[in-house]
Structure formats: structure tokens, C-alpha cells
Structure 1
């Protein structure tokens, strides 16, 4: 409920602060006194866009602050979803700066307009004769029926199943689209994969092949050089080994003379041992060396294959080709398995669809049972509100489409006159009739769900005295379970309020200012008497006012 409202520097309001109670609150005032300004300020709290022209003093900021008791509103999840600190005593503040910028805060946490609007919808419902579009909206009509049908649990279950169903349908579409595109590319991908598979790629293979190619393509030169090396090492006349052997023999004789000659001898001996090993290695290389034109052709072909693959796939190493091969294997495999995946997904969808249909069927059954009760209650209330011939024709029919709240098409038709044709509310009801229908619906809803604070803005315009009494009784009854405001010009309604506020204008230093005050019992008598008979009070008007209040 709205517990207090503070407005500074807004339109004709300089500074206004008022505390509100639960129950039925009346707001009255002469035409032009500023009731619409009060609603305008409250609308900013509910997320309406700010207008710089609404600043009273263009050099100062406008501040509007409202306090709400949300203890019984079950709004914690909504606060968390909008990243706002939850407090049972919630404070919403809106500021309009002289620069034109607007700021909003909920419990001192900055909030954007969308969060403010989402929260505002759960806090206050402002309803006027010119704001009945909600009544002709299918979603609202379903909400009314579902409230009587007590479909809350079923609708939550339906929403969960619908979310899963839509997710699976999206995944199926992705698979179908993938298959459609993949079929076109499958042959090409398979060809590329086959090329890479036949190449029998191995990490590090390129370096080995390149070295082998150099060996095989230069076999004659290698052979020639190894033969020359063999001769230089082993030839009897000029061979290095023979020469070193003779040198070793000579130094052997000197080794016994002095240690320094022995050291020289040992060095020569070590060199001879090393050269013997080199000679053995050269001989082994000669033995292993084989002219193999077939192998050279194989290596050359493999290198050509690799270079072609490098060029085709725009890479420079075998590791990249192996990675591309893995990707192609995945694509080809996915394409080959997509039919199986589609079949599995369709089976999942079939199972969820069965659950969705079952819940939708349960919702439809409960709605169908609730419709006659809603029709009877509406027609009964409207009869007491001066519409004795009002009739509703409400029909529900199961559809094949999954809507956000079920699988039904709703026909919510109305006729205000006996024998008249049934038409949609928008076509069949006048503005005053729509207001009374909305009042009837809201009064019915209070018996089934917790509604937020509701503010009726002059919905009694054009209503006669007796009907206004009934409207006042309905609003008063609603206020036993919720906070109800009524901005009214009718004394019959004003007298039914538990608390009465008056909006008035006054001129201070040649500046007009709008104010709001709470009236005591005697002041209420005067206000209601003036509503009855004008500003010049008569004894009969005062007596009538007292009678209404009592």
C-alpha cells in the first residue's frame, strides 16, 4: 500500500507531503484545483517519462518520493530480477534535474525506467474513464477468468513446459537448417577429408621427407665424396691413417725418453683411434648408400602432395593439416548423424508437447467451469450499477497454437441492451459503461487475488445519485482487502470514504500553488455540502451532508 507521498517543485506544487492510511481514501477538489497534477507526479514514480516543462522552478530540481508497504505483495523475486535491494518498506524516488536529466531510485539503489514500470504495475493501478484499454485486451480478460478458475499453479507449470518446448523447437530448427546446408557441403567435405586421410599425415614428417629427398637426389655426389674420403683415409701411399700410424711408431720411441714426448705420442694415438672410427663410419655409409630412384619418386610425390595440401588449405605445416582433418571429420560425422539427432529431438518434442497439451487441457477445463460464475457475477453487479440489461457472451475454444497462457481462443462479447447484438467490449460499450464494467471486474478480483493499490480517477462521471451510492459501496467493500483511492466529484462517493483529502489552489505572493490537506469530520461536512449545493452553504445541504456521512 501507498503510505506516503512527497512532491517538491512539480507543476503548481511547491512542497507537498501527505501520509495515507489503508482502506478507502477520497480525494476531492474543484475542477482545475490540481488533482491531475497529483496523478501526474504519482505517474513519474510508476515509470512515466519525465518532462522538463513540469518543473515549477526551472533552476531547482523536482523530487517526488513515495513510500510503500509491500509486506504482503510477494515482490522479492521481482526486486531480485531487477537487481534492486528488497525492503518491505520500499521507497521510490524520482528526480528531474534543471538540465533535463531524470534519475530514479528504489531503496536508494539507482533504477531504470523499465524496472520502475515493472515495479509500478505491481504497486498501483490508476484507472480512469479514459484508461479502459486494458479491459478490451485478451491477456487481461484471461487473467480475470484465471483468477476465478484458480489456475495459478497450472499456468506456472504451462509456462515451464512452454519454455522447454520452444527451446527444443529452436534446437530442432537448428538441426534441420544444419542438415539442409550440410547436405550441400557434405560431398565437398568428404572429398577434402579423403584427401587428408590418404595423405597419412604424421607430426614431424615434413622435415624427415625433406632430408631424405636431399639424400636421394644427391646420391652420386655423396657416393663420390665418400669414396674420396675413404681413399684419403686408407690409401697406402697418401692415406692419413697410414701416415699417422708411422708417426705413432716414431713417437713411441721418444715416449720412453721424456714425459713430454709421451704426451705427444698419446695425442697422436687418440687422433688415430678417432680416424679409425671415422673410417669405419665412412665405410658403413658407403655400404648403406643405395641408388633408389623408386624411393626418390615416392618421396617427391609425398612432398608434392603435402605442398598441394598446404596451398589448398592455406597453411604451412602438417599440424595445421591434422587439425583441419579433425574438423572435417567432425563435420562429416555430424552430417552423417544429423538424421539420428533430428529423430531424437522430435521424440523429445513429442513428449514435452504431450505434457503441454495435458496442462493446457486442465487450464481449459477450469476456465470453462469459471466462465458461468464470472458472467453471473458481472451481470449482477452491473445491474445494480444501472445496467440491468447488460449481458456477456464469453466463449473459449481450444486452438492448435501455443499462446503464452494456454491453447485457447477467447471471445469476450457484450451487449448493453435487451435484444441487442453481442459485440466486443470496444464496440459495444461506451466510456461510462466500460468504467462500470472495469469496476465490477476489479471488485470481483479482490475476492480471489491480492490486487495492488487502486486509484479510481473520476470513473463516476455522468453517473446518477443512486448508482453512485452503489459504486461507493463496491469501492468501500473492495477497501476491506486492499487500499482504494477515489478521485470524485460525487458527494455520495465522497461520504463513503474512511479518509478524505481535499486538493485546493491558493495564491501566495501572486503565485498560484496547489496543496492537499486531510479533512477532519467537520471539514468533511462542509466539503460534501459544497459538493451538494455549491459554495454558498445552505442548512439543507449541511444536513444532507451530515446524513450522508452518518
Structure 2
């Protein structure tokens, strides 16, 4: 709920602050006093309308999931709008774009504008019927859950099958491309670590002659080997360490001869050509390992393309069985909805009667299979669709629908002159329905009639003093005078005062 509103420098409002309670909050006052400005200021801070006030703020007491927007959670949510060259919004002192503001409050605040027909969309009516069925018919919830899960699988398989159909149209090209890519890599037949080995061979080849020359010169050391042994013997030093070293040196030189002999048999051009081919693969794929992974991926794709017909048949068989199952469940759901419609009609018509409306009926027709089953739902007033009724009837029907809904909703409901151009009886009906709705919602409403403020939990007067708009919460005595003013005009009569006392007493 909204606990507090503060506005500074907003057209005719210089500064205003108000504390709100739960339930039905009604604003009354002379035309042009600024009632709509107050409503608009609340709407602007919840993302529904542009912000025009230099400074505006609401305090929202609700458990909101703000962490996903990077905003720390708190017991209260403070929303602030500051307008300079442009308007900036803040939630708990953290800057947020208007888009995020609207997203946060979309499920918390409802604004019933004159042209908003979204409430009567088929999916909303079906949702109400399904909730009614869940509360009245054991077994419906599990049936609906099974249908929802099966339909999700059905759509996933359908999408997969459609991709296969698309692939089939170009499958020959895809097969040829996969074969071409595989053959290109197979022509080279790379091996992991091969390129590094070839670079090492290339390096050895580049210094082959130097190695031969150096080893040849170093061989002279063996001609003086006996001299070292004689010297060690005269010095009474064990010569085994020297013998071991010389033997190890002989082994090294012998191995170098074998290595040089192997290099002699290597075709340098072949090595360079192989390095170039492997380097091309590395440049294209990132590494030899990635080239081999790509080859394996293309082999798997080729196998899949070649097995498309088998996969397609399997999916088509599944879809056929799934559709039969969905059709059967959808038919059962429809039967439940028809029964629910009767229950819902009885409830909504208890409100339409109060609102001086013709009887409402729920029309259910079949349509293509969808996530909602095979049903399409609409609301009519004595056979007339909601799109063809008057705006006054539309607004009252909307209230009747909200009041009848089994949804366990909470939040804020904002209305603007919901009882405009209605008779006294119709206005009283609207007042009583809103009073009922205020058990679920905190409701903000503007009224120019006596009935709605007479049932309000809070009654505010919007008036002008020396050209400046002011806001005041009325006491019981002040409410009598304001309702009397609404009835008789600026010149309040005794009869109007008595009428005001009477309606307040009746609805208190």
C-alpha cells in the first residue's frame, strides 16, 4: 500500500503531503481544484504517466523483490522523482530508469483508465474460470497441470520438427558442405602435437651442417684421452669419473650421428609443405585440436542429416499422439470451464444487479489448440459484447468483474472519476462494490458524487486558496459539509446537510 505522498512545485500545488490508510481513499472538491493532478502524481511515480512535479515522492509499504534490479530490500520502498531538464527516478536513493519503475510496479499498481479493455481479454477470463474450477471441482488442478506440461512438450517438439522441415529443404546442400569440410581436414590428416614436432625438425635441419662440423672438431678430444689417464694415474687419482664422462660423450656423439643420418633422409620440402598445411588449419580453426573437434562435429552433423527421415517420423508420431492427448484433456477442461462459468455468472451478476447493469454472461467458444486449451472466452451484457456497451456500463462491468474474481490479489487500484455521469442509484452501486474491493486493494478514486465519499475509509478535500491548490483530510463533521456541498453546490442547504448525515450514517 501507499503510505505517504509528497509533492513540491506541481502546477497549482506549491507543496502538499498526505498520509494514507488501507482501504478506500476518495478525493473530492470543486472542478479544477487539482484532484487529477494528485492521481497523476501517484501514477507518474509508478511508471504509468510522465512526471511533471519538481519533486515528488511516495512511500510504498510492501514486500517487493528489488534485489534483481540491484536495489537493496527494505521494509518500505521510497520512490522519488526529481525534475530539472529531465526527470530522474530513485528507489531507496538508487537511480532507476522509468522502464524499470514500471516493471517493478506492474504487478502492484493497477490503473483503470477509460480505454483499458485488457481486463476482458480471453486469457484473463479463462484464468478466472480456471481458478473458480480449482476451488470448486477436485481434480481440475491436476488436469490443468498435466495439460500445461504436455502442451509445453508438444510445442518444443513442434518447433524441433519445424526446424527439421526447414533443414530438409536444404539438406542436400548441408550434406555436401559437411562432407567438403570433413574432406578438407582429412586430406591433411593432422595429428595432435605434429606441428610442434615438425617445427623441431625444421630447427634441427637448419643447423645440421653446423652440428656436423662441431662434432667433427670435438672428436679430437678422444686423441688426448690417454694423456689425461696417465696424468691421473701419476697423481694417484681414480680415473673412473673421467672414463664415465668420456663414455657418455661418445654416446652423445654416436646418437648425433644417428640423428644426422635421419635428417639426411628427410625431404626438407615435404616438411615445409606439411608445416604450411598444418599452419593453415591452425589459422582457420585456432589450433589443430580445434580443427579435429570441428571435424568430429561435422561427422555428427552428417550422421544427423542422413538420419533426418527417421528422426522426423519419430517426432511426427509423438506429435500425433500428443495432440490426441491434448485434445482429450482440452475437452475435459472445457467442460469444467462451462460449469465454472455458471458459478462465476451467479457471482458477477450479484454485482451487476447492484450496479444497475443487465445480466452478464460468459461466452465460451472453441478455437485452435493453445496453451489455454481449445477455449476462447468473452463477457457479454445481455448478448452485447463489452466493446459495444457505453463507457459507463463498461466501467461498472469492469468493477463487477474485479469484485467477482477469485484471484487473491493485493495492491493498489487507481481510478479517475469512476462514477462520472451516473445516476444516484448507479453511483451507490459503484460505491458499494468499491468498498467490497477495498478489502483486497488500497483504492484511490476521484468523485463528484455524494455516494462514493460516503463509504470512504479516508476522505480528502482538494481545494484552492488564493489560486494555490491545497489538500486536507476531512474529519467526520467536515465530511458532512463536503458531501452536502457536492449535493447542493456552493450554497449548502439544510436539506443537503441532512442528506449527507443520513448517507454517512447508513454507510458508516
For this structure pair, what is the TM-score category when the shorter chain's length is used for normalisation? Answer: 0.7 to 0.9
Match of 2:301 in 1: 334
* Correspondence 1:10 to 2:16: no
Q: Which runs of 5+ in 2 are unaligned?
A: 236-241
* Correspondence 1:324 to 2:302: no
Contact 2:26 2:445 in 1 (8 A): yes
Contact 1:164 1:352 in 2 (8 A): no
Match of 1:103 in 2: 89
Contact 2:195 2:278 in 1 (8 A): no
Match of 2:78 in 1: 92
* Correspondence 1:140 to 2:124: yes
Q: 1:202 to 1:451 in 2, by over 3 A?
A: closer
Q: Deviations over 1:451-472 (max 9, x none)?
A: 4222332121121112222222
Match of 1:373 in 2: 343
1:410 shift after superposition: 1.3
Q: Deviations over 1:357-404 (max 9, x none)?
A: 78866754543332222233334432332223x4435114252344xx
Q: What CA distance in whole angstroms lies between the structure 2 residues aligned with 1:17 and 1:94?
A: 14
1:213 shift after superposition: 9.6
Q: What CA distance in whole angstroms lies between the structure 2 residues aligned with 1:362 and 1:547?
A: 52
1:156 shift after superposition: 7.7
Match of 1:117 in 2: 102
Match of 1:495 in 2: 454
Contact 2:367 2:376 in 1 (8 A): no
Question: How many residues are aligned here?
Answer: 472
Match of 2:501 in 1: 546
Contact 2:5 2:57 in 1 (8 A): yes
Match of 2:374 in 1: 408
Match of 1:38 in 2: 38
Q: What CA distance in whole angstroms lies between the structure 2 residues aligned with 1:439 and 1:147?
A: 18
Q: What CA distance in whole angstroms lies between the structure 2 residues aligned with 1:304 and 1:534?
A: 104
1:33 shift after superposition: 0.9
Aligned to 1:505, which of 442, 457, 464?
464
1:517 shift after superposition: 0.8
Q: What CA distance in whole angstroms lies between the structure 1 residues aligned with 2:25 and 2:80?
A: 24
SS at match of 2:4: strand
Aligned to 1:306, which of 250, 263, 274?
274
1:539 shift after superposition: 1.5
1:188 shift after superposition: 0.9
Q: 1:204 to 1:451 in 2, by over 3 A?
A: closer
Match of 2:353 in 1: 383
TM-score when normalising by structure 2: 0.74
* Correspondence 1:397 to 2:366: yes
Match of 1:530 in 2: 485
Instruction: Give the alignment's Cα RMSD to 1 decimal.
Output: 4.9
1:8 shift after superposition: 1.9
SS at match of 1:485: strand
1:99 shift after superposition: 2.6
Match of 1:517 in 2: 472
Q: What CA distance in whole angstroms lies between the structure 2 residues aligned with 1:400 and 1:359?
A: 11
1:37 shift after superposition: 0.3
Q: What CA distance in whole angstroms lies between the structure 1 residues aligned with 2:407 and 2:204?
A: 89
Q: What CA distance in whole angstroms lies between the structure 2 residues aligned with 1:514 and 1:104?
A: 26
Contact 1:84 1:111 in 2 (8 A): no
Residues 175-254 of structure 1: pairs in structure 2 closer than 5 A:
180=171, 182-197=174-189, 202=194, 206=198
Match of 2:445 in 1: 486
Match of 1:252 in 2: none
Q: 1:497 to 1:90 in 2, by over 3 A?
A: same
Q: Deviations over 1:55-93 (max 9, x none)?
A: 4xxxxxx222222332xxxx55x4344343333x42232
1:46 shift after superposition: 0.9
Q: 1:549 to 1:7 in 2, by over 3 A?
A: same
* Correspondence 1:476 to 2:468: no
Match of 1:59 in 2: none
Q: What CA distance in whole angstroms lies between the structure 1 residues aligned with 2:328 and 2:56?
A: 49
Larger Rg: 1
Q: What CA distance in whole angstroms lies between the structure 1 residues aligned with 2:105 and 2:461?
A: 25
Q: What CA distance in whole angstroms lies between the structure 2 residues aligned with 1:356 and 1:79?
A: 38
SS at match of 2:491: coil
Aligned to 2:386, which of 408, 425, 428?
425
Match of 2:133 in 1: 149
